[in-house]
Structures are given as C-alpha cells and as structure tokens.
Structure 1
C-alpha cells in the first residue's frame, strides 16, 4: 500500500511538462489513450459556478508602492482622502495598504489612474 501512496505522491507533484511526457509515453509505448469522456465532463462542470459569480460592483483601492515620485503620491493621497500631510505621508511610508474601500468601479478606476500617473503602483480589489 505504501508503494501506491508513493506513486500517487509522484503523480500529484508532476509538472505540466512531465505530465505531457507521461501521457505521450502511455500512448506511444503502452497504447493507452486518454479517456474521451473526461474532457466532456470537465467542460460541463464549470456551468454552475459561472452562474453564481456576480460582477463585482465595489472596489478597494490598494496602494502597493509609492514609486519614485513619493512626494507627488503623498500630495495626491492627501487630496483624495482628506488626510493631513503627516497622515498621508505615514500612509505612503506604510504601503502596501488600502487607501479607499467600497468605491464604485468608475471612482476606483479614476483614483487608480491618477495615482499611477503620479508614479504609484495601485491595485483594485
């Protein structure tokens, strides 16, 4: 039984390249073809989760890096958030961090664009 566990562990840890090579060996040397029904079952599977996924309507603006123009980013964060200059600088010094939460998509994208123009690296979550 332990030999089978070892084999199972080896199979699970195969890279994509190794799995393709194994598939070729099984096909060419042993005449074992991939099961025709497996891809069909896999294709039908994702239908249910796709229906359950709703389009995201609110986003968080996460500053990942202030970039080279740290002063410009501090000023822009001060302007956008209403923080005083010291608070904005402390936020930038502590990035990565969430600057704004639960914003509509358009507003979040506008803030992201402005921060990126100032040199920051920004992500919407």
Structure 2
C-alpha cells in the first residue's frame, strides 16, 4: 500500500503537486517542503529533456567553400531552394547559415555532401 502511494506521489503532475500541497497546508497545517522538492526535480527533468531535444536539432553553417565554389553554390541552391544569385550571395559571405533547425540525421547527411565537394561545415 505504501509503495503504491509512493509511486502515485512520484507520478503527480506539477498541478497535482500544488493541489496536494494546498490541501495538506489547509486541512492539516503541514507545509510540505518535500513536494516543493518534487516540483523542483520535475522542472529539472523537463529542462534536461529539452536540452536533449535541442541537441538533436542543428543549424548548418558554411565556414569555407573550398576550391570548388561553383559546386558549393549549386548544392546550397539545391538544399535551400533559393535562386542562383541568393545561393551565390550565401557562399560569398562566409560564414553563413545555410539551413536552420534540421535533425541530427539530416545535418550529418548535408555535412557529408558539402565535405565531399571540399566545403567546410559547422553544425551548431
């Protein structure tokens, strides 16, 4: 019974923790510092999850076009869907963000494509 109660307490949402804290305070005069710790830990866990998610999203930044500038311009045009002039401007003004908020898998694929034609890419 106590183990089930503990499991239920651990799985409470922040709203439920606040409601429980208020009930304990009003009805029983208990100031539940333990629940504040649970709320803080819950917030920390959410922050850690957000950090993990953010590390899976990258911006692709062109650092150098290498020796084959024309190939890089063509690849930038293909990836971004921009026109030839806009793509050339991106390549001419290095460092420049080529694509934002891409998945880790897509970022690695694009990085490999750029590196195969001699460009240098940074993932942020």
Structure 1-normalised TM-score? 0.57
Alignment partner, residue 20 of structure 1: none
Alignment partner, residue 122 of structure 2: 123
Separation in 1, partners of 2:96, 2:111:
13
Alignment partner, residue 97 of structure 1: 96
Alignment partner of 2:70: what SS?
helix
Alignment partner of 2:76: what SS?
helix
Q: Which runs of 4+ in 1 moved over 6 A?
A: none
CA RMSD of aligned residues (A): 1.8
More helix by share: 2
Residue 52 of structure 1 and its aligned partner are, at CA, apart by 4.6
1:61-72 equivalences in 2 (<5 Å): 61-72=60-71
Q: After superposition, what is the alpha-carbon deviation per residue over 1:67-122, rounded to whole angstroms, capped at 9, x for unaligned?
A: 11100000000011001111110110001011111111000111111011111110
Alignment partner, residue 43 of structure 2: none
1:17-96 equivalences in 2 (<5 Å): 52=48, 54-55=51-52, 56-96=55-95
Structure 2-normalised TM-score? 0.57
Separation in 2, partners of 1:78, 1:87:
8
Unmatched tracts of structure 1, length 5 or more:
1-50
The number of aligned residues is 76
Q: After superposition, what is the alpha-carbon deviation per residue over 1:27-76, rounded to whole angstroms, capped at 9, x for unaligned?
A: xxxxxxxxxxxxxxxxxxxxxxxx95843110010100101110000000
Separation in 1, partners of 2:82, 2:64:
18
